[in-house]
Amino acid sequence: MAAPERRIDLAFAGSHWVGRFQAMASPCEVLIEAQGAPEARSVTRRVADCAWRIEDKFSRYRTDNLVHAINTSGGTPIRVDDETANLLDFAATLHRLSDGRFDITSGVLRRAWTFHGGARVPSPAAIDAILPLVGWGKATWQRPMLTLLPGMQIDFGGIGKEYAVDQAAQIAAQVSPMCCLVNLGGDLAITRPRHDGQPWRVGIEALQAPRVTASRLIDLTQGALATSGDTHRFILKDGKRYSHILDPRTGWPVDSAPRSVTVAASNCTEAGMLTTLAILQGAEAGRFLSAEGVQHWIQWR
């Protein structure tokens, strides 16, 4: 199958330009208070190139990148570059902070789980057969060398998009002296305040159809916003909804988890970290975020 064409589209929205493209299986956009189309197109191209670079480098679906080399290493130590090492260090920190609930080796559980809105739930035996391949503590990470047990894999899906937002926002800030909002599939960051001091109005996607209506509108003047949830990825069987967010210690969806968590923070990586850690707390998500002292919005049902 041929790779989808990578292109950008640009339109003027009255007070700003909007650049659009696809990356990481998500619709992406850049809102730019540029002086004209050439500058807006340049910013959009640089942001898109950044998102595509990170997608190509860290996607688990490619067979020509470092992640594939790690996941097929069969127990052989693999040397990683500094950027990958930084992400591994961050993942190790999240694993420790979450008491093992966040684990980048849990991606192999997708062999049993398929979250496309269907009704097939794997058997306990199928989960138990995979669990020996899950567990960051079973990996050996001594920067810059990573060694996984044969059959283990890593998956940066839980942190990659937010990291890409921050990297792209830094590039946008270097390219343009004007305000830019980088939005990669609903995770976003603002480079600097708008020239008139007005906020960007950002919507949190509604849980119920039609989802063209936001459940809440947030005025954002600085910082970043990240959302995690099961709006698009779930299993529904016998009236029970199974979220795609799994507890790697059991191999099963997190019990009593909220449907959607949105957090505002100074950068998107921090916001994404907090949304993920909150959902992994299940019914205690709200209490966890309140204790962290961050602005947050939770949708339960």
Question: Average of pLDDT values for 206-224?
Answer: 79
Distance, in Å, from the CA atom of 182 to the CA atom of 185, rounded to the nearest integer, reads 10
1 — pLDDT class (breaks 50, 70, 90): very low
CB atoms closer than 10 angstroms to residue 55: 21
| CA–CA separation, 86 and 54 (whole Å) | 14
Output the six-digit token pair for 264.
């505002």
Contact between 109 and 117 (Cβ < 8 Å): no
Per-residue pLDDT at 3? 55
- CA distance linking residue 130 with residue 275, whole number of Å: 26
For the chain, what is the mean pLDDT?
Answer: 93
In degrees and rounded to multiples of 5, residue 221 shows phi and psi of -110, -20
3 Cβ contact list (under 8 Å, min separation 6)? none
What are the tens digits of pLDDT across the range 245-276? 899 999 999 988 999 999 999 999 999 999 99
**pLDDT digit string (tens) for 111-124?**
999 888 788 999 99
For 24, 62, 187, 225, 297, the CA distances from 217, given in Å and listed in that order, are: 25, 36, 15, 12, 11
Cβ(299)–Cβ(260) under 8 Å?
Answer: yes
Amino acid at position 186, single letter: G
What pLDDT is attached to residue 211? 55
- Report the pLDDT averaged over residues 278-295: 96
Please determine, for residue 210, whether its predicted confidence score (pLDDT) is greater than 60.
no
Name the residue type at position 258.
P
CB-based burial label for 67 (10 Å; 0-12, 13-18, 19+) = buried
The more confidently predicted of residues 155 and 5 is 155
**What is the C-alpha to C-alpha distance for residues 99 and 78, in angstroms, rounded to an integer?**
26
pLDDT at 215: 79
Q: What is the pLDDT of residue 106?
A: 96
At residue 117, the pLDDT reads 78
**Mean pLDDT of all residues in 187-207:** 92
Query: Domains of the chain (ranges plus CATH)?
Result: 1-60+155-198 (3.10.520.10), 66-152 (1.10.3980.10)
Name the amino acid, one letter, at 230: D
pLDDT computed for residue 251 by the predictor: 96
**Rounded distance, CA 38 to CA 23, Å?**
22
Bond prior to 144 in cis (omega within 30° of 0) = yes
The pTM assigned to this predicted structure is 0.94
How far, in whole angstroms, is CA 158 from its chain's centroid? 5
Question: Tokens 């493209």 map to which residue?
Answer: 21
For 4, 7, 86, 188, the CA distances from 1, given in Å and listed in that order, are: 9, 18, 33, 31
Give tens-digit pLDDT for 20-70. Answer: 999 999 999 999 998 899 999 999 999 999 999 999 999 999 999 999 999
